[in-house]
Homo-oligomer: A and B are copies of this chain.
């Protein structure tokens, strides 16, 4: 096994009155896809929120490609090459689909010091493509996200993540709300990450999905890692027993 791309050591996270992570240590190997499972409230989202900079650990370290990494905001995390789909969709309902897809990463016609004029045409065209890529059928990229159905929104979030593929992809229950067809697309996408040299973390409560597309299973319970095995070395039943 080569150097891990991400290592976390002894992470602790307190919410006011709740000890949500109780010393989690984990190494993610390069180009491996990890399935993260666990009961409701086990701390999965908390762990990945720390990796994506939404929250800050109270204790513990994160290493990225061997170097200690200070992640104090989503921007840091993105800079390190981590792309996340959050459990609760991170869409601005009052904005159009196209604008949502490119929030914070707008294609610019020209820019001075990071600010500039958005290339609206390019943005529209690319978003039409990105949405088509996930087999989502939407009327127009100019519809407001707030007017989409639950699954359509989730689909847009996935289209965004797939479009801005990065070194590490974290997907927190991405298939919720999705129809069968799109779910299959997502599973296929996760399975293909490896081939594209992308490391993945896939959270789901559907064991079949996890076993179908991951290389390794990590199970959490009550804020701790309770099982960590390669897919070949374990089975759905064993995993369900530990939980």
Contact = CB atoms under 8 A, between A and B. Distances in A.
Interface of A: 15-16, 18, 38-41, 45, 87-88, 136-139, 147-152, 154-155, 173, 176-183, 205-207, 240, 243
B18 A147 contact: yes
Nearest to A154: B40
Contacts of A207: 180
Given A150-B87, A177-B176, A179-B39, A139 B18 contact: yes
23 contacts: A18-B139, A38-B179, A39-B181, A40-B149, A40-B152, A41-B137, A41-B138, A41-B148, A41-B151, A41-B152, A88-B150, A150-B173, A151-B205, A173-B177, A176-B176, A176-B177, A177-B205, A179-B243, A180-B205, A180-B207, A180-B240, A180-B243, A206-B206
Main secondary structure of the interface of A (DSSP, over half): loop
A240 B181 CA distance: 9
Given A40-B155, A40-B182, A206-B206, 5 more contacts: A39-B181, A40-B149, A40-B154, A88-B150, A173-B177
A157 B13 CA distance: 26
A45 B150 CA distance: 9
Contacts of A178: 40, 205
A42 to B, nearest CB: 8
Contacts of A177: 40, 87, 173, 176, 205
Contacts of A176: 173, 176-177
A155 B40 CA distance: 9
